[in-house]
Amino acid sequence: MSRIVPISNVDVSIIVVSYNTRALTEAALTSVLCETNTLRYEVICVDNASTDGSAEMIAHHPVKADLVRLDENIGFARANTLAARRAKGRYILLLNPDTIVLDGAIDKLVAFARTHPAARIWGGRTLFPDGKLNPSSCWQRMTPWNLFCRAAGLTGLLARFETFNGESYGRWPRHHVREVDIVSGCFFLIERELWAGLGGFDPIFFMYGEEADLCLRARGFSARPLVTPAATIIHYGGASETARADKMVRLLAAKATLINRHWSRAMAPLGRALLAAWPASRAIATTALAALTGSQSRKASAAAWREIWARRKAWRQGYEACAPDARKLPALVQSSARGRS
């Protein structure tokens, strides 16, 4: 469990984890510098052994981040937990490197938190670069019904209806304040005291699922996460992970782990079976469509889904089964402090 250090004159500690996203990370840090004007803040960056010069760029960026360099990619969850140990603010803000802060969004999100303290976790609204809604700012927890809808294809066919697309709250435009189950880690504000009480992210989650696990655990600390449209950012999404099969294997492993952790022992086998039915049904459907149409794009999609299904041993039982030593934190190789207050 993290140790709470005395509250300083820092309002919010902004944490950015980078991995081979130099240009995007630079733009994100610049947007923080330009759009955060009413808060006393610090920026803490962890570079996950990038090979594109990201760490060097961060070290010389005018935001004057406290930079931690690693010699291996330890994933999003563990990198954020490492960074949070250095945080001095009353709040911790997790900000993805593939984001752009718009119109004082961090100032507005912290102001929202101050007026809604009972929530204890807060998020904003995310857009794609073209200005259209990116719905990934928040999620509903998995249920047997929404897993069935996804496996049966109803989520894709009836995406605008929350009944059939529950995890994404249907096509709700995120245009009003709402209590949600999960705030996305791309723009995630939390009390530092609550983060410490929860021990931060569980390091078994390499990427994906860590914020869902934390939000669900935070319910036991009376947290009721809220999102507000007043704080809006651009989120490109998936910039550090481009291989579709690899991404889906990680996502499915994370979802299986969440089922193991947060479903009853009696319901967990059903949840894992419904989860497995999703890639299985997609592999069958896309292969049939590819054969009927001869489309190269459909053939590529079918090949990806077949690969995901073929790799099911890597995800079907969750991270515990395939990465039993994932909680071991490596030592830092290089660390340079250039704090801002």
Distance of CA 87 to the CA centre of its chain: 19
| pLDDT score at 5 | 38
Cβ contact 192:80 at 8 Å: no
Could you give the domains of the chain? 12-140+180-241 (3.90.550.10), 244-322 (no CATH)
Q: How far apart are CA 28 and CA 52, in angstroms?
A: 16
User: 330 to each of 38, 44, 79, how far by Cα in Å?
Assistant: 36, 18, 10
The dihedral built from the CA positions of residue 254, 16, 197 and 330, taken in this order, carries a sign that is: positive
Residue 33 CB partners (closer than 8 Å, separation 6+): 62, 63
**Strands (DSSP E) found in 250-339:** 334-336
Mean pLDDT of 183-194: 97
Q: How far apart are CA 51 and CA 304, in angstroms?
A: 27
Quote the mean pLDDT of the chain: 91
Question: Any idea which of 126-130, 131-135, 322-326 has the lowest mean pLDDT?
Answer: 322-326
Q: Is the pLDDT of residue 329 over 90?
A: no
Mean pLDDT of 161-169: 96
Encode pLDDT of 32-41 as tens digits. Answer: 999 999 999 9
Residue 322 vs residue 162, higher pLDDT: 162
Mean pLDDT of 187-200: 97
Mean pLDDT of 223-248: 85
Q: How many angstroms separate the first and last alpha carbons of the chain?
A: 25
Residue 21 CB partners (closer than 8 Å, separation 6+): 50, 52, 54, 97, 98, 239, 240
Q: How far apart are CA 332 and CA 270, in angstroms?
A: 41
Q: Is the pLDDT of residue 8 over 80?
A: no
Encode pLDDT of 94-128 as tens digits. Answer: 999 999 999 999 999 999 999 999 999 999 999 99
Question: Any idea which of 35-39, 66-70, 206-210 has the lowest mean pLDDT?
Answer: 206-210
Question: Any idea which of 243-247, 259-263, 278-282 has the lowest mean pLDDT?
Answer: 243-247
Cβ contact 329:203 at 8 Å: yes
| pLDDT score at 264 | 97
| pLDDT score at 323 | 57
| pLDDT score at 331 | 43
Mean pLDDT of 1-24: 78
Give the pLDDT band of residue 239 (cuts 50, 70, 90).
Answer: low
Mean pLDDT of 125-150: 96
